[in-house]
Each structure stands twice: as C-alpha cells, then as structure tokens.
Amino acid sequence: MHTDHPTLHQADQHLVERPGLPEKPGALHGQVWLTVQTSLAQQLIHGRKGTSGKPTIIGLVGFANRLRVIWQAARNNDPYADWWLIKVHEAIESAGNDIGRRQVDLVKQLEQMTAMEVSIAASQRPYRVHLQFANPYAYRAAQLLAEYDRLACTALTARHIGVLDGAAYVDVQQACAHKLRALFMIPQSYRFLKIDRESVRLKTGRSHEARQAMGEVPDAILSGEHQAALVPRKVKFPSGFAGHVKLRPESPIPDTALSEDKNVDS
C-alpha cells in the first residue's frame, strides 16, 4: 500500500504557498544643491560674459560644461583628456589646501579673542542652486567653491571685528578667488579631436594637431601609468562615438591660431 510521506507533503505545501519574489528596487534618484552665503561665491558659480571693457570669467557652470567633454573623451581612451583630468585634480587639491590653511589660521585668530564669543557671519537669505553635473570633478569643484564661501564669511567677520585690516582681507578674498578662476579655466584649453591612445602612439589621425595645440602628452600618461584619482570607466565605443554622445570633434585650426581656444558644443 502506498502512503504519502508527511515531510514531502509539507514541503509541497510550502512551495505552493510561498509568495513570489519581490520586485527589484527602482532606479535611484537624488538631488544636489549648493548653498552660498556671499555674492563673491555666487558670482563664481555663473561667471561673467565678456564685454568690451571686461574679460570673460568662466564660472563653475562653464567649468562643468566643458569638463563633461573631457570626461567623455577620457572614457573613450583619449590620453589628452586623461592629462587634463590630472591637471584639474591637482588644481583642486592645491586650491583646497590653500583655502583650508587660510580658514584654519583665521579661526585660530578669532578663538584667541578670549573676552568675546564670535559667530561667523551668515546671510539671512543665502543663494541656493541645484547642481546636475556629469562627472565627480564638477561636484568637487562645487564643494571647493563652498569652502571658499565659508572662508569669505570668516574673513569678513575677522575684518568687522578688527582681526584683519582691509588689505589683509582683500588679499585673502582675491588670492583664493584667483585660484578658483584659474581652476575653472583649465578645461578651456583642451581640444576635443576624437583621438585615442593608439592614434597618438602611431601618430595617425589628428594626433599631430593635438601635439601642436596641447603639447606632447607625457609618457607616463600615455601608457596609463599616471592617472587622476577619479577617472571614468574606459568603454570601447563603436564608430560614430562623437555623434552618439552629442559631441563632435573640433574643426581644424590654422597654424597661426593654434594657441587660441575654440569652444566645443557641450
């Protein structure tokens, strides 16, 4: 006589009653906002259009737009793009160290005022802007600008209570603003020519034009031995890469104008 095994029967019931697996989590979304207290920092976000009497100032937004081109080119194995990312990384590190050192020095001076309790000046209506960048170095530059904004508030407070005189205040404010403007200018000298390491090694395609416009890429960068701390994952794109990411190589430049920068669509 055949009888059902109770253990097997229980297992079958468990399989029938077991609910389906839950759906996978949806795509992740988030927002990034930058808040600044001073008009000095606000001006550095958007920059300034050039006029007959004043030169163009590249701000954080212009920096990020141009850096997007470099990030995409580095993803496509352009050694010059890797070189420019190294320049951006080093400039951010240098400016960050300078701003941080000045901030620490000022805070120490304020703390030495034993008879008074000093709070750092802050705006009653700070400026807030939404950030949506395509690479991490643009966000690092935004954080650097926020640190400059904090330094400007600290320096303004120190001047107000007599810790800094007018000349020292101007030196702090202008020296660090100059470093930020210099950082924001770095991507403007890069030229997107749709080249890769192989064409640079073999000196084919537009590699000759790249050397004329941007110099000889260092061997350690060409070999990939030296890279920036943050780099995109290298991807082999099919032909038509430039059109696929809505970029196009910059037009050839005449020999008499190799030192001039030509903006590329971003």
Is residue 19 in some structural domain? no
pTM to 2 decimal places:
0.79
Quote the pLDDT of residue 26. Answer: 83
Residue 27 is predicted with a pLDDT of 83
Quick one: tokens of 63? 């920096």
Question: Do the domain assignments include residue 6?
Answer: no
pLDDT in tens, 78-117: 999 999 999 999 999 999 999 999 999 999 999 988 888 8
Q: How many percent of the chain have pLDDT more than 90?
A: 68
Q: What is the pLDDT along the chain (266 residues), one digit of tens a residue?
A: 455 555 545 545 554 555 666 788 888 878 999 999 999 999 999 998 888 888 889 999 999 999 999 999 999 999 999 999 999 999 999 999 999 999 999 999 999 888 888 899 999 999 999 999 999 999 999 999 999 999 999 999 999 999 999 999 999 999 999 999 999 999 999 999 999 999 999 999 999 999 999 999 999 999 999 999 999 987 654 544 444 445 556 654 443 333 333 333 33
Q: Are strands 127-131 and 32-36 parallel, antiparallel or unpaired?
A: antiparallel
| Within-domain flag for 52 | no
Residue 4, token pair as written in the block: 């059902």
Note whether residue 35 is domain-resident: no
Q: Is residue 4 part of a domain?
A: no
| Residue 39 domain flag | no
Number of structural domains (the chain) is 1
CA angle 40, 41, 47 (to 5 degrees): 90
Report yes or no on 22 lying in a domain: no
- For residue 157, the enclosing domain spans 58-257
Answer yes or no: is 197 within a domain: yes
Angle at 235 between CA 230 and CA 238, to 5 degrees: 150
Query: For residue 235, what pLDDT is reported?
Result: 65
